[in-house]
Amino acid sequence: MKKEIGFIFDLDGVIVDTAKYHYLAWRNLANSLGFDFTEVQNEQLKGVSRVKSLEILLDIGKVQLSQEKKEALLLEKNEEYLEYVYKMNSNEILPGVDRFLSFLETNKIKFVLGSASKNAQLILEKVGLLERFTAIVDGNNVSKAKPNPEVFLIGAKKLNMSPTNCVVVEDAIAGVQAANAANMISIGIGNAKVLSEANYVFDSMEAITSDFLKNLIN
């Protein structure tokens, strides 16, 4: 018998590979402030809110700025990021995502988005996936960032399910921790050593097999 179960997907790094665009925009900002920002350092920004990302970046560059200047830089970074986002289309949906969503749709399992991004709705629109989600919970709906479970708990409400019946798909450590804190099942996408706190880990969305999904829902 099928369990009553719902899915909550992170966006950046799970549905689309926007981390590369965030990186380009943050690196430009770092360079304009006179320091370099590497791809390895960029790992620290995954799953982290925009405001917190700037704090981490300024710490790396050992730069101190007024609140006013920080706000101007946040706007500037987002404007550059949006230039990449506006050029996105369905080719940027990560391999395996469409198959995963189709599997859920075929089995009448609802899914929502649970993302830290304030650009989530726009990105889903650009890649043509917005209509498939039952609801979007994003950076505009939460006051506490991951690893706080708030975003996923709101997601569970939108699914009309108790947290223990929700499965979260995440690529960031902070996101896996948020799912665990919400008492949800966590599927990590990425490096198993990095995401060791997840209940299950796959290298990529494409690596998730239909058999695994069938077992999870039955």
What are the residues binding ligand BG6 (CB under 6 A)?
Answer: 11-12, 22, 45-50, 53, 78, 115-119, 139, 172
* Shortest reach from residue 80's CB to ligand BG6, in Å: 11
- Is 171 known to be catalytic? no
Nearer to Mg ion, 5 or 176 (CB): 176
> Is there binding between residue 163 and Mg ion (CB under 5 A)?
no
Burial per residue of 29-51, b for 16 or more beta-carbon CB atoms within 10 angstroms, e otherwise: bbeeeeeebeeebbeebbbbbbe
Helix H segments across the chain?
Answer: 19-32, 39-42, 50-61, 67-86, 97-106, 120-126, 150-159, 173-181, 210-217
Taking CB within 5 to 8 Å according to partner kind, which of ligand BG6, Mg ion, none is near residue 177?
A: none
Total residues contacting Mg ion by CB under 5 A comes to: 6
Positive or negative, the CA dihedral 149, 153, 154, 159 is: positive
Name which position in 5, 10, 58, 109 contacts Mg ion (CB under 5 A).
10
* Shortest reach from residue 1's CB to Mg ion, in Å: 33
Distance CA 116, CA 112 (A): 13
- Is 10 known to be catalytic? yes
* Shortest reach from residue 42's CB to ligand BG6, in Å: 8
∠ CA 180-200-189, nearest 5°, is 90
Distance CA 137, CA 9 (A): 10
> Is there binding between residue 57 and Mg ion (CB under 5 A)?
no
- Whether 198 and 170 have beta carbons less than 8 Å apart is answered as yes
> Is there binding between residue 138 and Mg ion (CB under 5 A)?
no
**Neighbouring residues of 72: CB distance < 8 A, sequence distance ≥ 6:** none
* Shortest reach from residue 94's CB to Mg ion, in Å: 11
Catalytic residue among 10, 17, 36, 138: 10
Query: Residues interacting with Mg ion, by CB under 5 A?
Result: 10, 12-13, 47, 171-172
User: Could you give the residue numbers annotated as active site?
Assistant: 10, 12
